[in-house]
Amino acid sequence: MHRVKVTVVEEALDANNTIAAANRADFDRNGVKVINFMSAPGAGKTTLLERTIRDLGGELALAVIEGDQQTLNDAQRIQAAGCPVVQINTGTACHLDAVMVGRGLQQLDPPAGSLVMIENVGNLVCPALFDLGERGKVVIASVTEGEDKPIKYPHMFRASTLMILNKIDLLPYVQFDVDRCLAYARQVNPALQILQISATRGDGLTEWYAWLRQAMR
């Protein structure tokens, strides 16, 4: 029985990867850059996207795909920040897949030169496994979580290009060992870039925006 389950999962990933490759070719052909944002629930993905849209919306052509099991809450926040957005509700699924993202991009129809930011379903496991056709994965952790997240969920941090440690404005009020968290992250992925930010207070956002501009180039 266990062998059958493994085979089914492998087949699902293979099918997804084929569609993701087609997505990637479409994005490249249309001159669109796509970044996949992943985190546990409550790490601050939506808040960071809102701040990024308000600060860079006049400089970069931005669009967002919002992934949640239910509600339009996050899409409404993104729209209020001034950005085109498509909400994808996954129902019982715990992640976005390449088919969902392909359809979402067709609906968004972003112009050439756009940056599309995908806010994946809050989950530190499944989203790391599913290629969406993106050019980079960004994992957001926060100081309100345990510093051992990188070694508890290693595939997420191994699959990512960039780790953002968010909510550093709360460090005086929580027990969180920053050095240990960063050491764990680099233990899992020595090539991982790391930024420390506060999406609400603004710490580290200059470096984050520089990373985005470089990604667009």
Digit-coded pLDDT (tens) for 62-78: 999 999 999 999 999 99
User: Could you tell me the pLDDT band of residue 5, with boundaries at 50, 70 and 90?
Assistant: low
Provide the CATH number for the domain around residue 40.
3.40.50.300
Residue type, 77: R
How many residues are there in the chain?
217
User: Could you tell me the pLDDT band of residue 12, with boundaries at 50, 70 and 90?
Assistant: confident
Count the alpha carbons within 13 Å of 22 in the hemisphere toward its beta carbon: 14
Helix-helix angle 73-80:45-56, to 10 degrees? 20
- At 61, give phi and psi (nearest 5°): -80, 110
User: Could you tell me the pLDDT band of residue 25, with boundaries at 50, 70 and 90?
Assistant: very high
pLDDT at position 9 over 90: no
Contact 63, 35 (CB under 8 A): no
Digit-coded pLDDT (tens) for 177-187: 999 999 999 99
**Can you give the residue range of the structural domain that contains 131?**
2-216
Mean pLDDT, range 1-19, rounded to an integer: 73
> What would the two tokens of residue 159 be?
């699959």
Digit-coded pLDDT (tens) for 136-171: 999 999 999 999 999 999 999 999 999 999 999 999
pTM: 0.93
pLDDT at position 2 over 90: no
Interacting residues of 100 by C-beta distance below 8 A, sequence separation 6+? 67, 88, 90
Interacting residues of 168 by C-beta distance below 8 A, sequence separation 6+? 143, 178, 196, 197, 198, 203, 204
Q: Which of helix, strand or coil describes residue 68?
A: strand
How far apart CA 17 and CA 21 sit, in angstroms, is 6
pLDDT at position 202 over 60: yes
Contact 215, 136 (CB under 8 A): yes
Tally of domains in the chain: 1
On average, the pLDDT of the chain sits at: 95
